Structure 1
Amino acid sequence: MGILDMIGPVMVGPSSSHTAGAVRIAWLARQLLEKPPRQVKFGLHGSFAKTGKGHGTQLALLAGVLGLTPDDERIKEAPEIARQSGLQYAFEEVELGDVHPNTVRIWLSSEGENHVVTGSSIGGGLVRIWKIDGLDAYLSGEAPALLVRHEDKPGVIARVAAVVADEGINIARIVSGREKRGGDALMSLELDRELSQEALSYLLHLSYVNWARTLKKLS
């Protein structure tokens, strides 16, 4: 256990779980879009729904999708920043079943592109995104990441891993989720450093890759 696990991250308060963690989840979700979101809906589960308002969770989530980080003093100004940018947003309470109480489901859309992200704030500002567009995933924001949406067929994971290896990059963690055998699948990889744009472009030109995105580490 490190010192940050005990005292929490550098952040705007009041809560590492309800504030810093909420910013992190939404900041990661924002990176799935090529362009800034135009519409966002937050589904708050458990304690995020019951006590989140007093802890600033709604402000934090909104700040995250606007690209603000946990230590940004403008978090409290998120509604005004959203208004100026033309972002439409809404909050609702949802029941997501047997999941961590600090969990949110975020639907976000921009110019024909939309995604649904489900993540949890697990304490000390640490987060886990574990569903993207209904498929199993793993993102923590603690490392650069690569997401690849693809056809479920033999050899795809090996091909993507080879592209990463050719860049001289180690894979720290990989999770693969699929709807069904031969259907839609999603790879989420956390890497030792960010994949180059050239490698990403190569992946996007593979016939069995439908969508791919690199995500930055939240420092």
Structure 2
Amino acid sequence: MKYKSVFDIMGPIMIGPSSSHTAGAAKIGKAARTLFGKEPNWIEIFLYGSFAKTYRGHGTDVALVGGILDFNTDDQRIPDSLEIAESKGIKINFHQDEAAVEHPNTVRIKLGDGNDQLELVGISIGGGKVEITELNGFELHLSGNHPAILVMHNDRFGAIASVAQILAKHEINIGRMEVSRKDIGKEAIMIIELDENIDSYIERELERAENILQIAKIVD
């Protein structure tokens, strides 16, 4: 495994006892918040494997909720995140799920409000690094280690090319791209990791492209 710097080897700056069970959990929670785009009023959290067995002792519960509240891994409020969420009227339930999973540090987060909801599966792979493997039923591989955009679109000819052309016009380089769909001609999703964050005006231009339904931005 290659590391960018000595800080990747030492682990992230964080609140909590474990880079995988606490810092990683906070990053997964924050990814869910970023993709949802607002604060939810209910959260259902399903924990698997090692997460399910040790989530209270290792602070995984407070870290996940802290991330959903938009706290960074080093935010001093993380230990109090459950109380903070309760004070906001957010209803939270934790579930220890015994289903078999490929990675021991796996969590499924369902959250929403009166109008919208989101479902996400994430794994903490160690050292504070995470991967999002499922979003609203779409399989994907999103590391969170690079700036990225998630593009919901109709599965139509030219949709992928139009997004690539807009990024090329603004000299934004694509590091990795993945496309997932549930069925031919239905909704699909592009996961595009970039070399740099995109400005808001580029995001708006992408949203106006034909057959594009929604854009979500993951900022590095």
Give the TM-score range, shorter chain: over 0.9
Q: Residue 215 of structure 2 corresponds to which residue in structure 1?
A: 212
Q: For 1:32, what is the secondary structure of its paired residue?
A: helix
1:119-134 alignment, distance < 5 Å: 119-134=122-137
Q: Could you tell me the TM-score, scaled by structure 1's length?
A: 0.93
Residue 86 (str. 1) matches residue 89 (str. 2): yes
Q: For 1:187, what is the secondary structure of its paired residue?
A: strand
On the 8 A contact 1:42/1:104 being kept in 2, the answer is yes
Q: Residue 4 of structure 1 corresponds to which residue in structure 2?
A: 7
**Equivalent residue for 2:191, pick from 188, 194, 199:** 188
**Cα shift at 1:20:** 0.3
On the 8 A contact 1:22/1:121 being kept in 2, the answer is yes
One-letter identity of the residue aligned with 2:68: V
CA distance in 2, matches of 1:161, 1:94: 40
CA distance in 2, matches of 1:111, 1:202: 29
Q: Residue 19 of structure 1 corresponds to which residue in structure 2?
A: 22
1:1-219 alignment, distance < 5 Å: 1-2=2-3, 3-95=6-98, 97-217=100-220
Deviations 1:148-187 (A, max 9, x none): 1111122211211111122221112211111022222111
Q: Could you tell me the TM-score, scaled by structure 2's length?
A: 0.92
One-letter identity of the residue aligned with 1:86: G
On the 8 A contact 1:119/1:129 being kept in 2, the answer is yes
Give ranges in structure 1 of 5+ residues lacking alignment.
none
CA distance in 1, matches of 2:107, 2:61: 10
Q: RMSD in angstroms over aligned alpha carbons?
A: 1.5
On the 8 A contact 1:144/1:194 being kept in 2, the answer is yes
Deviations 1:125-162 (A, max 9, x none): 00000111010223222222111111112221121111
On the 8 A contact 1:167/1:195 being kept in 2, the answer is no
Deviates more, 1:143-152 or 1:117-126: 143-152
CA distance in 2, matches of 1:9, 1:79: 22
Identity of aligned residues (%): 41
**Number of residue pairs matched?**
217
Deviations 1:171-208 (A, max 9, x none): 12211111022222111111122222222222223341
**Cα shift at 1:59:** 0.7
CA distance in 1, matches of 2:99, 2:198: 33
CA distance in 2, matches of 1:34, 1:121: 22
**Cα shift at 1:117:** 0.7
Q: For 2:36, what is the secondary structure of its paired residue?
A: coil
**Cα shift at 1:73:** 1.6
**Cα shift at 1:26:** 0.7
Residue 172 to residue 7, structure 1, CA distance change in 2 (3 Å):
same
Give ranges in structure 2 of 5+ residues lacking alignment.
none
